[in-house]
Amino acid sequence: MTSKIFLKFGLIIFDYDGVLVDSQDTIIRSSNEFCSRHGIQKQVTHEMLAQLDPATFPNIARKAHIPKAMIPEYAKYLSHKLRTTPDSTPIFTGVSKMLSGLEKYYTMAIVSANHITVIKERMQIAGLSNHFNIVFGSEHGSSKADHIRLALERTGCRRKRTWMIGDTVSDIDSALSVGIHALAATWGWQSKSFLKSRRPEKLFDRPSDIEDYLITLAKQYS
């Protein structure tokens, strides 16, 4: 892509799992189904994900003692489960309204460790795909920080007007490593205290709080 995406006041980059969709239970259940099928005794738990750093599917596989050679098969199995059971990954309450409100002021993107096909299909089913100009998933093999840099390049947005919204400490780390604002959603995988330990700019308990905060910023500086 050579042309710049039309930019509004700034750029908001959302994580997917734990911020836009509630996929944690499905990921845990599907991961444990995979382990059971292959005679792997270690189980994935909510407690494991709550401390996961970085929060990636290969790291879940390592924590679950899935052999390295089987990680591509595990990723394929998980992707299939997420794609074929969209109702098991509901959109968090308030997310649709938040996106509609923010779209008036911001260009929006998704940068996730999940597969791009899973993300795009789920957003389309939910009627939310039109809100996002850019979607990056795990299939490119690049890090989340690299995808943030690419989103900046494609939009031409300045770092000081770019916000990353994540629910894990690794989301915060990725944002800060690139020099953009790091905001944390506390309704996802990891606890408020764990998120706070990485010093995000702000923490939010509801999507409506994010909407209010970022719209207020846009109105102040536009």
**Encoded tokens for 208:** 């409506």
Q: Could you read off the pLDDT of 113-139 as tens digits, one per residue?
A: 999 999 999 999 999 999 999 999 987
Low-confidence ranges of the chain (pLDDT < 50): 1-3
**Cα(56)–Cα(142) distance, rounded to whole angstroms?**
12
Fold of domain 10-22+90-221: Rossmann fold (3.40.50)
DSSP state of 189: S
Supply the pLDDT for residue 4.
53
Alpha-carbon 4 to chain mean position:
23
pLDDT reported for residue 1: 38
Percent of the chain with pLDDT over 70: 95
The predicted structure's pLDDT at residue 139: 75
pLDDT at 70: 97
Distances (CA, A) of 206 to 21, 96, 97, 148, 212: 13, 12, 11, 24, 10
Beta strand pairing call for 181-185 and 106-111: unpaired
Output the pLDDT for position 6. Answer: 58
Structure pTM? 0.94
The pLDDT of residue 89: 97
Q: Which three-class secondary structure state does DSSP give residue 198?
A: coil
